[in-house]
Amino acid sequence: MALDKGQSAKPQTGAELKAYAEARGIRYFMISFTDLLGYQRAKLVPTCAIEGMCKDGAGFAGFATWLDVTPAHPDMLAVPDPSTVIQLPWNPEIAWVASNPVMSEKPLDQAPRNVLRKLVDEAAELGLRVKTGVEPEFFLLNPDGSAVADEFDDAVKPCYDQNAILRRYDLIKEIADAMLDLGWEPYQNDHEDANGQFEMNWKYDDVLATADKHAFFKFMTRVLAEKYGLRATFMPKPLMGKTGNGCHAHISVWTMDGKSNAFSDDSKELGLSDKGRAFLGGIMKHASALALICNPTVNSYKRINAPRTSSGATWAPNSVTWTGNNRTHMVRVPGPGRFELRLPDGAANPYLMQAVILAAGLDGIRTNADPGPRSDINFYTEGHLVKNAPKLPLNLLDAIRAFDADEGLKAALGEEFSNAFIKMKTQEWNEYCGHFTQWEKQNTLDI
- CA distance linking residue 305 with residue 285, whole number of Å: 20
Check residue 327 and give its pLDDT: 95
What is the arithmetic mean of pLDDT over 236-262?
A: 96
**Contact present, 296 and 421 (Cβ < 8 Å):** no
Predicted confidence (pLDDT) per residue in 146-171, tens digit: 999 999 999 999 999 999 999 999 99
**Burial of 321 by CB count in 10 Å (0-12 exposed, 13-18 middle, 19+ buried)?**
buried
By mean pLDDT, which of 48-57, 246-255, 302-311 is the weakest? 302-311
pLDDT for the residue 182: 97
Instruction: Provide the pLDDT confidence category of residue 7 given band limits of 50, 70 and 90.
Output: low
Mean pLDDT of the chain: 96
Evaluate whether 174 touches 202 at the Cβ level (below 8 Å). Answer: no
| Structure-model confidence comparison of residues 65 and 7, the more confident one | 65
Calpha distance 125→166 (Å, rounded) = 47
> What ranges make up the beta strands (E) of 82-154?
86-87, 94-103, 106-107, 129-141
3-class secondary structure per residue, 397-442 = HHHHHHHHHCHHHHHHHCHHHHHHHHHHHHHHHHHHHCCCCHHHHH
3-state secondary structure of 380: helix
**Rounded mean pLDDT of 224-250?**
97
Average pLDDT estimate for 92-99: 98
pLDDT digits (tens, 9 = 90+) for 289-333: 999 999 999 999 999 988 888 787 889 999 999 999 999 999 999
pLDDT at residue 1 above 60?
no
Instruction: Return the pLDDT at 330.
Output: 97
- Average pLDDT score over residue span 411-426: 98
Percent of the chain clearing pLDDT 70 (strictly above): 98
pLDDT per residue as tens digits for the range 344-390: 999 999 999 999 999 999 999 999 999 999 999 999 999 888 888 99
pLDDT over 80 at 205, yes or no: yes
| pLDDT above 50: residue 222 | yes
What's the pLDDT tens digit per position in 110-144? Answer: 999 999 999 999 999 999 999 999 999 999 999 99
pLDDT, residue 311, reads 80
Using alpha carbons, select from 396, 406, 398 the residue that is nearest to residue 428.
396
For residue 198, the model assigns a pLDDT of 98
Q: What is the pLDDT of residue 170?
A: 98
Q: What percent of the chain has pLDDT over 90?
A: 94
Check pLDDT > 70 for residue 432.
Answer: yes
Residue 212 confidence (pLDDT) above 60: yes
Q: What is the mean pLDDT of residues 66-83?
A: 98
User: Residue 370 has what pLDDT?
Assistant: 97
Q: Is the pLDDT of residue 339 over 50?
A: yes
**Element (DSSP H or E) covering residue 355:** helix 350-367
Contact between residue 87 and residue 7 where contact means Cβ atoms under 8 Å apart: yes
Query: Which residue pairs, CB below 8 angstroms and at least 24 apart, start in 37-43?
Result: 37/66, 37/296, 37/349, 37/424, 37/428, 38/296, 38/347, 38/348, 38/349, 38/350, 38/352, 39/65, 39/66, 40/215, 40/218, 40/219, 41/65, 42/96, 43/78
